[in-house]
Chains A and B, each alone.
Chain A
Amino acid sequence: MIGHDETPMASPADGAACGPTADVAAPVMTDEMGDPAPAPEIVAEDDRLVVNIGPSHPSTHGVCRVLVELDGEIVTKAEPIIGHLHRGIEKMAENRTYLQVVPLTDRLDYVGSMYANWAYCRAVERLAGIRVPERAEYIRVIVCELQRIASHMMAIGPAGADTGATSLFMYTFWQRELILDLFESLCGARLTYNYVRPGGVAFDLPDGWAEQCRTFIDQHPSAILEIDRFLFGNVIFRVRTKGLGVLSPEDAVSWGASGPVARGSGVDWDLRRDDPYSVYPRLDFSVPVGERGDCYDRARVRLWECVESCRIIAQALDALEEFEPGVIKAEGLPRLLAPRPGDAYDHIESARGSLGVYLVSDGTVRPYRMKVRSPAFVNLALLPLVSVGHTLADLVVILGSLDPVFGEVDR
């Protein structure tokens, strides 16, 4: 035993719980069938070392705690412990009107707020039978593809930082910054946009915005090439990430992986093409797919998706010119939506995978139940599967390659 067995781990007995425990004056509800099982803590076998990574740690990409059991430097067990950022958004949504839920969805995936806005709005539109004007659909496609680039920049930069190439962060954030400037002039916010609304979008494009956007997508592919040379051209990065955290296509499908995590494994599945929504059938783009399913391919798929997004944005900007400005909202939309009783599910391809929103309505102005099918949550479940057998240094690279955003994982 090299280290200290008694790794400080918060056990439920510490009293550090943040929920209403039995001594709080809350009505105690017990369910005889559903008593919580005792928390299984990882007990170190033999001369293994248990290391607690997080919840506050430089490279957990948020507040994630990973309990790792190490044999030397080799990970023999890894268990993500999530929920530190759980805000109960699904419960909060039951207490708000349909329009008031939109800002909540911003806070789900705070690196890609536009997606959550859009997925939620699609579910509402499906529930209430709202037809969205085409101009609004094109604007949604443009902002969401920009958001995809911004979000992937947020994934690729940390992929470099996780392996130690901190300078790459600045190069990717430079591109992300340009996009955030575009968003700022579009809706005034840089992180939580609240831009896509049920029935359309909040504002039309400001004057000159389309030109600024074109300037961005013109320079973006060359920036991508620079990032490509910087990171993927580096022999240390290649050696470190090739063959690391291999996810087989069968596992990817069975575990429900989606987005670049699944496509990196060669699962050719992109909702934009395979379950087309909005105006995507009219746009010409290809879906980059990896072969080996390792961290390298996952990062690379993200990089080339950015180039494809530029193509999509260019086409959408061209198409946008044919529509009359100002028609960005469905007509005759009541201020308080009260859709038919029933349920609706819709999903879109976010930067992390298929982001779905399931809404149940009881005919009142508030959703009876909202469920967010979060791709980051589902992808993060893969961590124990793909990280065992690799070193501790690679664990953080694998975690980064799954690209979890904990606002969306914990909801």
Chain B
Amino acid sequence: MELDELYREAILDHARHPRNFGELEGSDRSASATNVGCGDAIRLFLRLSPAGRIEAIRFSGSGCAISTASASLLTLAVQGQSSEEAQALSARIQRLLTGTSAPQDDLPGDLAALAGVRRFPQRVGCAMLSWHALEEALRGPEKSPA
């Protein structure tokens, strides 16, 4: 089935058993992103080390399998990264999903599984949701939520 390309085994696994799910005690940054089209909302919490590396990261919220799996994969991938490295990875994911770069197999962890989203443009927003929250969180300390 065509959809097996979208819902690859790694995506289904992370959607069923999201890693780093829940709020992070003692986070110093957080940001949320919502997909107005479907009501999905994801909130990322992270703690930076004195050297500015992502020391801990978790996420909460509710979303479809694609947005949940993408967030779960994100938390594994950026752990220990500097702000710049994480932002560069986010930009790579964006290029991967929008088809402006070829699917790469050197992406960390199971991130390459997100390449299946390329053929479903209506789902790119789902996959990018947590990455937008990451960029927002890395831009600065949390603004008080509205």
**Same complex:** no
Listed in ascending order, the chain A residues whose CB lies under 8 Å from chain B are none
